[in-house]
Every structure is written in C-alpha cells, then in structure tokens.
Amino acid sequence: MQQNIVIGVAAYAIADGRHAGWNYYGNREQDIKAIRRAGGTPVLIPPFLEGDDAVGILERLDGLYLAGGGDIDASFLGIPTTPLIQNIDLERDRMELALARLAYRLNLSVLGVCRGSQVMAAALGGRLVIDIPAEIKGAISHNPQEPAEFISHPVQLAADSRLASIYGRQSLMVNSYHHQAVRAPGENLTVTARAADGVVEAVEAPDRDFYVGLQWHPEREAGNDADISKIFDAFVGAARKNG
C-alpha cells in the first residue's frame, strides 16, 4: 500500500466579489497541483488556528507549504507602519508565523515560496527588505510586468546548500515577482542563494531535514519544466522520509 504523504497548505481568506461579506479560505490551484504532481496530498489549513490546535494539526502532517501572497504586517516585524507594506492579511500573518516556528521546532519538512520564505525568516527572528527599489541601489528588476512564467534573472546557489544538491548546479534562471526580500535570515537559518544585486533569493535551516524558503516561484513552472519542479520532488521526498 502506497504511503499517503500529507502536506498542509496554509490557506487564506478570499473575498467573493459577487456576495458582499462572503469569504472563502483557499490557496492557488498552481500551488496545490505542484504538490500533487510531486506525490503529496495537499490539505488546506484555515488561517485561524492557534496554540494547541496548531500543534495538533502539524503533528498529523508530513510537511508544510507556505505560499506567496501579500506583505507581512509591520507589527509582526517590529518596525513602524509604512505605506510600502501592501496587501496585509493579519489573520494569515499570525497563523503562518506561528506555523513556521512550530514546524521548525518539530523538524517538519517545510517549503516556503516568495512570501513563504519571508515568513520563515521572520518567524525565526529575521529581518526583511521592505521595498527593494527603495532600499537597494542599483537593484535589478525583481517584479517585472511579464507573464507568470517569465524567467527574469539568474540566482547563484551556495555550493554546500541543499538547493545546489537538489539541482546539481550552482546557477539557476528563475521567475521573480516580489518587492520584498529577506535582509537577515534569522536564528539557525542560512542564506543559500542570491541574485546578482545581492538580494537574498533562498534560505535554509542546515540543522533541519528540510526547511527551505525560495524567493522565486517554481510552482508556476511545475509540471512544465522538470528541472524547476525538482524542488517539489525534493520537498515531498523529505516529507515522505519524515512520515
């Protein structure tokens, strides 16, 4: 009998434009399908769990996936509020930060994409670049106005990183859609990829089986580009070993 690898996917509120006051909890189809293609069984986690409920959920999972989305509110980052922080969802912030911390403590396999990588860093005490164009002089374009599959720039992977091992090389061309990034990775996290302008593109926890955050969007290529999809195969594979 084949092992069922259950991957918790942090969900968020989605407003129904046709019915005022009606909200749904969900995540994007492309993220769900990327996990499914790699052999995982995605299960949505509603964004209002906390305390013992969150621990109980994670203890029943084989892995946790944190997707892209809006910015983390300033109150969770220990900085003054600024209009540069956009598309805030306090309920989502509160739960995802708690889940990221708990998952690290439990050594649960975690993959974070874009916002997800920033959540992982912030959860462990890291700091963020709030707006790349405003803070990094000479930065390349990290948020191009191009189709979702547009490959925008290269990243360099650290030679001893899990990512370099997964991809079998130290340079990747990636699709990039973000105006924020990790500035300092936080406790027990290591920067394992950067763009040519020095912007952090990936973080990992070397002391955990699989705790990897990417600033780019492999889920938008998963199933179409087998090379890019390697990260989902590695994530679900690590979750399978933990299951």
Residues involved in catalysis: 114, 217, 219
Structure tokens at 161: 């990183």
Q: Counting every residue, how long is the chain?
A: 243
Structure tokens at 153: 């720039």
Side-chain half-sphere exposure of 238, counting CA atoms within 13 A = 20
**DSSP states of the chain:** ----EEEEEE-EEEE-TTSTT-EEEE--HHHHHHHHHTTEEEEEE-TT--HHHHHHHHTT-SEEEE---SPPPGGGTTS---TTS-S--HHHHHHHHHHHHHHHHHT-EEEEETHHHHHHHHHTT-EEES-HHHHSTT---SS-SS-TT---EEEEE-TTSHHHHHHTSSEEEE----S-EEEE--TT-EEEEEETT--EEEEE-TTSSSEEEESS-GGGTTTT-TTTTHHHHHHHHHHHHH-
Cα–Cα distance for residue pair 62/129, rounded to 1 Å: 31
